[in-house]
Amino acid sequence: MYGLVALGYHITWATSRTMNFSQGHAVMVGAVVAYAIFVALGWPFPLALLVTLVALACFGALVERVAVRPFFLRASPAWLLATIAVGIIVENVAQLTFGKDARAFPSPLMRKPIMVGSAGFYPQELLVPVVGLCLMGLVQLFYHRTSYGKQLKAVAWNPEAAGLMGINIPRAVMASYALSALLAGVAGVLLAPLLNVAPQMGTIIGLKAFAVAIIGGLTSAPGIILAGLGYGLVESFTAGYVSTRAREIVGFGLVILVLIVRPWGLLGEKPSRRV
Amino acid sequence: MIERLGWAGLAVAAAAIPLLTSNTYYLYVAISAGLLTIVTAGLNVLVGFTGQTSLGHAGLYAFGAYTAALCATRAGMGEWMAIGAAIIVTSIVGAAVAAAALRVSGPYLAMVTIAFGLIVESVLIEWGSVTGGPGGIFNIPKPVLRTHYWTVMLAAALALWLTANLRRSAWGRACLAVKSSEVAAESLGLSAYYVRIAAFTVSAAFAGAAGALFTFLNGYISPDSFTLQTSILFLLALLFGGLGRIAGPVAGSVALTMLPELLTKLLDYRLILYGSLLLLSIYWLPEGVVGAVSRGRRVRTPPHPHAPHPHAPHPHAPHPTLSPEGRGRSESRSPVTQGDGVLLIASGVSLAFGGITALNDIDLTVNRGCIHAIIGPNGAGKTSLLNVLSGFYAADAGAMTLDGRSIGGLPPYAVARHGIARTFQTAQVFGGLSVRDNVAVGVAGPRLGTAWAALAGTPGCRARETAIRSRAQALLDTLGLGDVGDEPAEALPAGLRRKLELARALATGPLLLMLDEPAAGLSPAEITALDLQLTALREHGGPAVILVEHHMDLVMAVSDRITVLDYGRTIADGAPEDVRSDPAVIEAYLGVPT
């Protein structure tokens, strides 16, 4: 469910015009932490989930503090490289502590497939989009209905004015990073049983989610959700009819195509030029 | 001098390695550093000079490597032929990628280049019949390692020399100008898109050359060498060495090639180390190792707190440099005809942002050699009108002609090429360039010559450089900036920045000069100087001027004609005296005289 991860890009982009390029690694961290607590330590699942989510929020805040805040006001792509650097470090630390091998993540929803005609699918596969859509709904509610969500939107619109209104901008940006990592963590826990847990899983998920965010439009949450669904469908079709490798070629080719035709994404706002 | 010694030392060291050791391992490591230098030197043109980040150069590197390998194995070409073919193919691919990718910038561009890299990698693996699939291509005839060492070292030296030439040329300045302020660069006739494509293509050619040399180093290639990690490594080497510095690629490449070799025991920690290094160099070495070293060495000259001659604009000195010239169309604009006749006609210009009308059916006629002021309360649409005239905003309706040619709907750089120059409300000088080079960007305008000539530093290119510089210096002298020509432009105080912007706009030899609040933030003495300059400009057959200004004393003193805007409409238009006494103008803007 790339949409969920991609939404994380949207959240931080909307507040700060920056993005966490280690978003995919946050997914991986979510899966690894959940694995460590739930499988290795044997804690009950709800508790494990809670700890994972808290850990991820902290991870997001940390990324913001280390890799984004120093460069937030400088109009430079330094944050882009800095978050990539964090991603590299996190991936390799995970490799050292967790090992390179993928491990299966048990889930009660993976035991027996539901058969529809000749094709079967696991309940877990159904759970991913359901939870994903619910979370997206919650995020939308948060932005439109709560005062803190409105504050974040204000920061996105005009940081200077928002700062003058007494909004703590660094904290708002940090909150958006924490929220975005949190979503990635949920995605990690949901995907773990489907994909197995491995430190290398982050990069490609992060890239595909980024592709989805670009296709849908970084400024538009509904656009990203639609693009997430569409991208997933296109991928499984190409994988089914052509080959697994062609999946990536088609997927990323699609991104380039969208950027050429509509650089601001399917439902994104067309940026106006400021002089 | 120290710089030259440094380069000489480096050359000696490079030449000494094969004499001192017969260990092929050391040669191999040195060649790897050389290859990395070539790629990063090219990347420096794109990222360091032009400010665009690419995370897909491994894909271009792969194009070079595979083209060379295929030429050598299937077409039976010799090494040099194969390298040449690789450079050509990679340049073409690079130009095509750039044309598509550079329509976007920032994180979007990063995404496109990442996607390009991943697609290339996937195609290499999938298209087994040509690329050999995951196993790659084997049995490529390879030269003796020692010979290859010399080839690569010479190529690396050549790469650095070429980028140094480029940096000094009109192209180099154009790249830096586009990086620093795209808007200002376009107002001088440069197409940012075109400049970026050129920079990307140059960097692609370098990557292609390095890829081909890489092929002949190993005798086999496989997709493993061309992953996203490789692209990140390229960028890291450049950042660590020093973005935008000529020596940066060498320092970064040597460091990043040596480091893992020294730390072979810590293999598992290697990528962690890379990541940390990247983070640390972004934090503490924004200009890389080279930048840090040269900064530590340089004796800091105190910045000029004031203009050297704030009161000396030389109003009565001859203005040999101010009249429009050098556009190849001067025959239609002999000094005799100036001062009469219509230059700019805008009719029925309208512009709305969303539902808000910024300009409502504006007519404006500007005569040659006139100073035409546009005044009005804040939000009246003055700056919007300038932005429409200079092509930054597309008008919703209306027609505009300059010197009889339609400029409606043209992009800013095309409007600039027709002969409109402008300044901005907040002065936009090009950081990273000296004051003189800022003006030189204007002097050269879109006439950059070929990128090849700039890279090779041909005699013709150098002669042009001398001419451009002397004209830039003459302009600086005229405006009283002559003494600060070598200062970095961003170090200038606000008043001098405005002056510099004016000099740069005049440097394009415009027919029409548009000044957006040139007096804002100036001291009274500086305003007097500006007054004299504008008057002198008119007396010496300079361009027509559109002056948007709130400083009424200045407006009344210099203007030949005044147009008053309010709520996007023209409420008065005429001679200064008439406008001053117009009741509508007093009501809307001037207020009752006390």
- Of A257, A226, A262, A260, nearest to A10 by C-alpha is A226
CA distance B167 to chain A (A): 21
How far is it, in rounded angstroms, from Cα A208 to Cα A5?
9
Across the A/B interface, how many CB contacts are shorter than 8 Å?
114
- Among B483, B521, B471, B480, smallest CA distance to B502 is for B480
How close does chain B come to A207, measured CA to CA in Å? 8
Q: Looking at the complex, report in whole angstroms how far the Cα of residue A86 sits from the nearest Cα belonging to chain B.
A: 7
Q: From the list A78, A256, A275, which residue is nearest B183 (CB)?
A: A275
Q: Residues of A53-82 as b/e, b for ≥16 C-beta within 10 angstroms? A: bebbbebbbbbbebbbbebbeeeebbbbbb
| CB–CB contact A259 B112 (8 Å) | yes
Run means of pLDDT, 10 residues per run, chain B, 594 residues: 78 77 81 91 89 88 90 82 90 89 76 85 84 80 82 90 88 88 88 91 93 88 86 86 83 83 70 79 73 62 44 44 43 42 87 83 88 87 88 87 86 90 88 87 82 81 87 86 84 86 89 89 86 86 88 87 88 86 81 63
Neighbours of B81 (CB within 10 A): 14
Comparing CB atoms, the residue among A81, A248, A260 nearest residue B278 is A81
Task: Tell me the nearest-neighbour CA distance from B540 into chain A, angstroms.
Answer: 31
Chosen from A81, A200, A215 to mutate, greatest number of chain B CBs within 10 A: A81
Q: Where are the beta strands (DSSP E) in B308-355?
A: 342-353
- Amino acid letter, B148: H
**Confidence (pLDDT) at A109:** 64
Minimum Cα–Cα distance from A206: chain B residue? B111
What is the structure's pLDDT at B302?
44
Say whether pLDDT at A85 is over 70: yes
Tell me whether residues B115 and A252 touch, CB distance under 8 A: yes
Mutate to test the interface with A, among B55, B105, B108 (most CBs of A within 10 A): B108
Tell me if B203 sits within 8 A of B45, measured CB to CB.
yes
The answer to whether the CB atoms of B276 and A70 lie below 8 A apart is no
Across the interface, whether the CB atoms of B118 and A275 are under 8 A apart is answered: no
**Dist. CA A23–CA B195, nearest whole Å:** 33
Percent of chain A with pLDDT over 90: 0
Residues 95-124 of A with CB under 8 A from B: 95-96
The shortest CB-CB distance from B107 to any of A19, A86, A87 is to A19
pTM: 0.83
Are A80 and B107 a contacting pair at CB < 8 A?
A: yes
What pLDDT, on the 0 to 100 scale, is given for residue B395? 86
Question: In the beta sheet, which residues pair with residue B221?
Answer: B137
| Distance in angstroms (rounded) separating the CA atoms of residues B172 and B306 | 29
Rounded mean pLDDT, A49-67: 85
Among partner residues A19, A85, A255, which is closest to B275 by beta-carbon distance?
A85
Distance CA A200, CA A194 (A): 15
Q: For strands B356-367 and B342-353, give the pairing.
A: antiparallel
Residue B257 and residue B251: Cα distance in Å, rounded?
10
Q: Give yes or no for residue A246 having a pLDDT over 50.
A: yes
Q: Cβ A86–B115 below 8 Å, yes or no?
A: no
Count the Cβ atoms, other than its own, within 10 Å of residue B353: 11
Q: Is B126 in Cβ contact with A246 (below 8 Å)?
A: yes
- Contact (CB, 8 A) for B289 and B249: no
Cα B504 to its chain centre, rounded Å, is 15
Torsion angle of C-alpha atoms A241, A243, A247, A249, degrees rounded to 10: -120
CB contact, 8 Å: A258 with chain B? Answer: no
For residues B221 and B225, what is the distance between their CA atoms, to the nearest angstrom? 7
What is the token pair recorded at B375?
């005044």
Q: Which residues of A touch B112 (CB under 8 A)?
A: 255-256, 259
The closest of B10, B60, B43 to B159, measured between CA atoms, is: B43
CB-nearest partner of A245 from B112, B126, B274: B126
Chain B residues within an 8 Å CB radius of A82: 278-279, 282
Which residues of chain B neighbour A91 with C-beta distances below 8 Å? 271
The pLDDT value recorded for residue B311 is: 42
Query: How many angstroms away from the CA of B391 is the closest CA of chain A?
Result: 11
Task: List the single residue in B119, B282, B424 with the smallest CB-CB distance to A253.
Answer: B119
- 10 Å CB burial of residue B162 (0-12, 13-18, 19+) is buried
- pLDDT tens track for A185-244: 888 888 877 777 777 788 888 888 888 888 888 777 788 888 888 888 887 777 777 776
pLDDT digits (tens, 9 = 90+) for A9-23: 888 887 777 777 788
- DSSP for B176-190, please give it: HHHHH-HHHHHHTT-
Residues of B with CB under 8 A from a CB of A: 53, 100-101, 103-104, 106-108, 110-112, 114-116, 118-119, 122-123, 125-126, 183, 228, 232, 235, 239, 268-269, 271-272, 274-276, 278-279, 282-283, 286, 353, 383, 387, 392-393, 424
> What interface predicted TM-score (ipTM) does this complex get?
0.78
User: What's the whole-number average pLDDT of chain A?
Assistant: 78
Q: What is the mean pLDDT of residues A129-141?
A: 80
Closest CA to B279 of A182, A68, A240, A3: A68
**A-chain residue closest to B280, CA distance:** A82
> Which residues in chain B are closer than 8 Å to A21, comparing Cβ atoms?
110
